[in-house]
């Protein structure tokens, strides 16, 4: 019997930084067997990731936070609907989305955070891990909810913290593994939750898969 390929979902990337996670996702999406394709990239500033996206010929829109988050979210919502986006991936996006926006896209926004949540939400996670005497540190891919760096965890990765490690060394060593984590977590999420027709409860669906956890 001939295998029927899963239809790719339409993905939007929100970014604010260097675009390393965006680049890893874009490479994965080029694989015909990967269940997503990037339809839209939105950046809130003319960062390295924004320039990279334009160079790679993605539909790349600059939507700046001018006076308040409402203006950004209104414009972003219009673009997301216009481009028939199914799922949003935050990839180094440095703005907090409003509860209204998150609820309008409930269970359709993923984020990658540079800590092993629930440890160290917010900024400065590498510095916090060193100051706390942590022996391991890592990254988490999770579903975005109304709270900061909260929501159901899809996957995590971890590295050892060496005695002489500084913030920069941890960041550089962790980055390549979190790039892998985001690709694997997104694929797992699409195949186990996003394509489930009866989405009454994310917690109910969470029982159908194990979190992606690996350590280096």
Do 74 and 100 form a contact (C-beta atoms < 8 A)? no
151 and 170 belong to one structural domain: yes
161 and 198 belong to one structural domain: yes
- For residues 195 and 73, give the distance between their C-alpha atoms in angstroms, rounded to a whole number: 25
138 and 90 belong to one structural domain: no
The mean pLDDT value of the chain amounts to 88
What pLDDT digit, counting tens, does each position of 83-127 carry? 999 999 999 999 999 999 999 999 999 999 999 999 999 999 999
Q: Of 179, 208, 200, 190, give the one whose Cα is nearest residue 28.
A: 179
Domain termination residue (choose one: 54, 75, 105): 105
In a domain, 165, yes or no: yes
Torsion of CA 134, 136, 138, 140, to 10 degrees: -80
CATH value at residue 152: 3.40.50.170
181 and 125 belong to one structural domain: yes
Domain termination residue (choose one: 105, 124, 150): 105
- State the pLDDT confidence band at 195, using cuts at 50, 70 and 90: low
73 and 166 belong to one structural domain: no
> What mean pLDDT comes out for the span 157-164?
92
> What mean pLDDT comes out for the span 205-211?
47
151 and 200 belong to one structural domain: yes
125 and 207 belong to one structural domain: yes
Q: Is the dihedral of CA 171, 125, 89, 74 positive or negative?
A: negative
Q: Provide the percentage of residues in the chain whose pLDDT is more than 90.
A: 79
**Is 84 labeled as catalytic in the residue annotation?**
no
In a domain, 1, yes or no: no
163 and 210 belong to one structural domain: yes
Select which of 65, 78, 113, 126 is catalytic. Answer: 113
88 and 133 belong to one structural domain: no
- For residues 90 and 110, give the distance between their C-alpha atoms in angstroms, rounded to a whole number: 6
In a domain, 25, yes or no: yes
140 and 92 belong to one structural domain: no
Query: The domain containing residue 171 runs over which residues?
Result: 113-216
| Number of domains the chain is built from | 2
């Amino acid at each position: 019997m001939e295998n029927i390929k899963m239809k790719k979902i339409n993905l939007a990337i929100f970014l604010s930084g260097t675009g390393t996670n965006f680049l890893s996702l874009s490479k994965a999406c080029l694989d015909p067997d990967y269940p997503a394709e990037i339809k839209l990239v939105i950046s809130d500033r003319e960062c390295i990731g924004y320039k990279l996206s334009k160079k790679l010929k993605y539909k790349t829109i600059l939507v700046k936070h001018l006076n308040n988050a409402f203006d950004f979210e209104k414009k972003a919502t219009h673009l997301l609907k216009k481009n028939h986006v199914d799922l949003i991936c935050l990839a180094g996006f440095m703005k907090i989305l409003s509860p209204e926006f998150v609820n309008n896209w409930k269970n359709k926004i993923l984020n990658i955070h540079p800590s092993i949540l629930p440890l160290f939400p917010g900024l400065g996670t590498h510095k916090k891990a060193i100051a706390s005497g942590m022996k391991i540190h890592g990254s988490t891919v999770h579903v975005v909810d109304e709270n900061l760096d909260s929501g159901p965890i899809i996957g995590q990765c971890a590295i050892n913290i060496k005695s002489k490690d500084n913030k920069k060394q941890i960041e550089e060593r962790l980055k390549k593994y979190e790039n892998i984590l985001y690709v694997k977590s997104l694929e797992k999420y699409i195949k186990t939750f996003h394509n489930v027709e009866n989405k009454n409860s994310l917690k109910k669906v969470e029982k159908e898969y194990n979190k992606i956890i690996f350590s280096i």
